[in-house]
Chain A
C-alpha cells in the first residue's frame, strides 16, 4: 500500500437507494477471493460477525448488571482484529489494550472463557481476576489486556525482542488506540524496536477519539504515520473498514516482521459505533457522523459484496447469524452457570514462589 494513501480518498459512495451498505473495494476483494478462496473468506466474515454479536450481548449483559467495572466494546472495529489475525500463524503473539474482547476471540480464545471473564467467573480466561481489560491466554499466545494507555507498547516490543533473541520466527502484533501515540512509552518503544529490528507490528486502531477527545483537538499532526518517520520505521495507513484492504495492509507488515525482522507502524482508520466505555453516551460526536459510519458498517459492506459476488446466499447468512447468536447465548449460559472464584483464590497468583504469610 502506498505510504501516502489516505482512507478518505478510498471511502466508497454512500449507500444506494435500496438501503444496502456499499460494497468493498472491488479490485482488492477480487484479489482476496483469488488468494484466499471462499471458505476462508466466509470464515473471516463469520469471525467478524461473532465479534459483533458477542459485543452486542456483552453490552446488554453489562446493562443487566452481570458485567461490572469498565467495559469497552469493539463494535465497528471488527475488520482490524480479523483482518490482521487472518494472516497470523499460531506461534505469533498478540498484545492489546483494554478494548480487546475482539482481539482475544480473533486470536482463538474460547468465547465462553471470555464471557466468563467478563462475568468475573473462575472459568474465565484469567480466572475472573483480570476482567474485561485483562484477558490473557498464554496457550493461545494472547498476552493481554492492558489498562494503562500505551503501557503495552514497550512490553510488546519486549515480547518481540524475546522472539528474535530465541529465533522463534514469531511475529508480535501490538494493538493500541490513537490515544496512545502521545505517550512516552510509545515513542521509546518505537525507537528501540526500529533500532533493534524487532519483529513487531505496531497497530494504531485510529477510531479518531481518545475517549472523548477528537484527535484533531490534541494531536499536533493528523497524518500520524509521520510518527514512524522519525524512527526510520516502515509505516502505512490502512483502511480498517474494508476487511480485505485491512488484510493486505496487515499482511505486508506481518511478512516484513517475519521475513526481515523489521517493525512496522500502522495507522488503521476505523470507527467505534459505541461510546468509549459503557458509561459514555458519546456526546462529543454528531449523530450525522455516527449515522454515516453506520451506513458504511464494515460487516454490512462485506455482506453486500459476498451476496453480489455469490460467495454466499441470504439463507446461508441467516443461518450463520442464528448459529452465532446461539453460540454467544451459550457463552452467556456458560458464564452464568460458572462459579465465582473461590475466596481462597483471593491470595493466590501473586507470586510463583511464595511461602510467606500476607500482612
Chain B
C-alpha cells in the first residue's frame, strides 16, 4: 500500500469531501495562499478557488462564529484553528453556540461544522503553544471530539467528521503532521465513536489516543521483551466514548493504564479511569494506572520539557506497576 504523510492524508480528506459536496468549504488563518501553517491545505486554493478556501484575519472568535453561523443554515464548514491554543479564544462560539443550538432550538437546528487544527505539545514552543486541550471540548454535551493517531485514521476520521451532522472538534497532534503511514487509494471512512485496537495483548491494556498511541506502542514493544503482553486501545473518538471497546479489552486483561499527553486533573483520562473503576470494578486486578503530563505549564527549556511530558519509560513503569512486576 502507498505511504503518505499525516498532513497529506488530511488534505486528501478535505479535498475529496469538497469535491463531493459543494457546501463544504475551508476557512482559517493561512489556509489559502500560504497553503496552511502546517501545510495541510497545500494546493487547495488552486484547486477550489478563493470562494471555498478562505484566508481569515487572526480573529478566532469571529471566524469560528462565521463558520458556525454558516453551519446553522446548512453549510458544512471546515474551520481550521492554526492551533488549539488559539481556539481558546473561540470557546464562546464553540460551547455557547455550536454545542447548544440544537438543544436550545428544540431540535430545529443542527450545526455541522468541523473545527480542526493542531493540538498537543509542540517542540520547545513554551507554555502557550504546547497544550492538550481536548478535555475542554469533551466536557461539553453537544460536541463530538476526534483525535487521530495515524495518517490512515486521520483521513478516514476527517471524512466522517465533515459528513457528520453535528459539530465535531478534530484535534491533530502537531508532532504527527510529518509522520508517514499506509493510506489506501480507495475511498473509506472510519466511523464516529469507534476505537481501534492498535496492538493486541493479554496482560495489560493501555488506553490512549493521538500521539500517545505511538509512545504506548513503543512501550509495548519494550514490555514484550520483558514478557509483558500489552494491548493498546486507541480511542480515536473521545466523545462519544467507545465504552464497549474499553470493556472488551479490560475484561480480557484485567489491568489497565490510561495514557494521555495533557494534564491529569479533570481530564479525559480521569473520566476514562472513572468509567473503568465503576463499570469494570469486578474485572480489575489492580488500580487503574495513569500516565500524563506533569501538572505544570510547559517549560521552554529543552532539558525540562521532556521531564514534563509522558514518555516511553513512564508508560513502561506504569504498566509494570499495574502488573505488579518490579
B72 with A159: CB separation less than 8 A: yes
Q: A188-B62, A192-B63 are in contact. Are A159 and B106 (CB under 8 A)?
A: no
A353 with B166: CB separation less than 8 A: yes
A191 with B192: CB separation less than 8 A: no
- In Å, the complex CA distance between A144 and B100 comes to 12
- In Å, the complex CA distance between A354 and B67 comes to 23
Contact with B along A347-359 (1 / 0, CB 8 A): 0111111101010
Q: Does A154 contact B (CB under 8 A)?
A: yes
Most chain B beta-carbon contacts within 10 A, residue among A129, A155, A159, A348: A155
A356 with B72: CB separation less than 8 A: no
- In Å, the complex CA distance between A296 and B264 comes to 61
Chain A contacts for B112, CB-based, 8 A: 352
Q: Does A189 contact B (CB under 8 A)?
A: yes
**8 Å CB interface, B105-128 against A:** 105-110, 112
B300 to chain A, nearest CB (A): 28
Contact with A along B60-98 (1 / 0, CB 8 A): 011111111111111100000000000000001100110
- In Å, the complex CA distance between A353 and B164 comes to 8
- In Å, the complex CA distance between A348 and B240 comes to 15
**8 Å CB interface, A129-175 against B:** 129-130, 134, 136-138, 143-148, 151, 153-163, 165-166
Chain A contacts for B102, CB-based, 8 A: 349-352
A154's contact among B57, B69, B108, by CB below 8 Å, is which?
Answer: B69
A189's contact among B66, B105, B107, by CB below 8 Å, is which?
Answer: B66
The chain B residue with its CB closest to the CB of A188 is: B62
A153's contact among B65, B73, B74, B108, by CB below 8 Å, is which?
Answer: B65
A118 to chain B, nearest CB (A): 14
Task: Count contacts on B: residues with CB < 8 A to the other chain.
Answer: 46
**8 Å CB interface, A224-269 against B:** none
Q: Does B144 contact A (CB under 8 A)?
A: yes
A356's contact among B68, B75, B142, B193, by CB below 8 Å, is which?
Answer: B193
Chain A interface SS verdict (over half): mixed
Q: Does B141 contact A (CB under 8 A)?
A: yes
A158's contact among B57, B70, B144, by CB below 8 Å, is which?
Answer: B70
- In Å, the complex CA distance between A188 and B69 comes to 14
Chain B contacts for A184, CB-based, 8 A: 59, 61-62
Q: A124-B106, A126-B105, A352-B102 are in contact. Are A156 and B69 (CB under 8 A)?
A: yes
Chain B contacts for A146, CB-based, 8 A: 97
B59 with A138: CB separation less than 8 A: no
Contact with A along B15-54 (1 / 0, CB 8 A): 0000000000100000000000000000000000001000
Q: Does B103 contact A (CB under 8 A)?
A: yes
A134 with B104: CB separation less than 8 A: yes
- In Å, the complex CA distance between A146 and B101 comes to 10
- In Å, the complex CA distance between A93 and B73 comes to 10
B97 with A151: CB separation less than 8 A: yes
B93 with A151: CB separation less than 8 A: yes
- In Å, the complex CA distance between A350 and B75 comes to 19
Q: A188-B61, A352-B166, A353-B164 are in contact. Are A144 and B70 (CB under 8 A)?
A: no
- In Å, the complex CA distance between A15 and B193 comes to 67
- In Å, the complex CA distance between A309 and B101 comes to 46
- In Å, the complex CA distance between A93 and B63 comes to 19
Q: Does A101 contact B (CB under 8 A)?
A: no
Q: Does A290 contact B (CB under 8 A)?
A: no
Chain B contacts for A128, CB-based, 8 A: 106
Q: Does B165 contact A (CB under 8 A)?
A: yes
The chain A residue with its CB closest to the CB of B75 is: A162
**8 Å CB interface, A81-134 against B:** 93, 95, 124-130, 134
Chain B contacts for A147, CB-based, 8 A: 96
B50 to chain A, nearest CB (A): 10
A157 to chain B, nearest CB (A): 5
A158 with B104: CB separation less than 8 A: no
B20 to chain A, nearest CB (A): 17
Q: Does B56 contact A (CB under 8 A)?
A: yes
A/B interface sample: 9 pairs, CB < 8 A: A126-B105, A130-B106, A143-B109, A151-B93, A159-B73, A185-B93, A188-B62, A192-B56, A352-B112
A158-B65, A162-B69 known, 14 other contacts, Cβ within 8 Å: A93-B73, A124-B106, A130-B105, A155-B65, A155-B72, A158-B69, A163-B73, A165-B51, A185-B65, A192-B62, A192-B66, A349-B107, A351-B166, A352-B102
**Which A-B residue pairs are the 6 nearest by beta carbons?**
A158-B69, A154-B65, A188-B62, A127-B106, A136-B105, A349-B107
Residues of B within 8 A of A (CB): 25, 51, 56-57, 59, 61-75, 92-93, 96-97, 101-110, 112, 141-142, 144, 164-166, 192-193, 240-241, 243
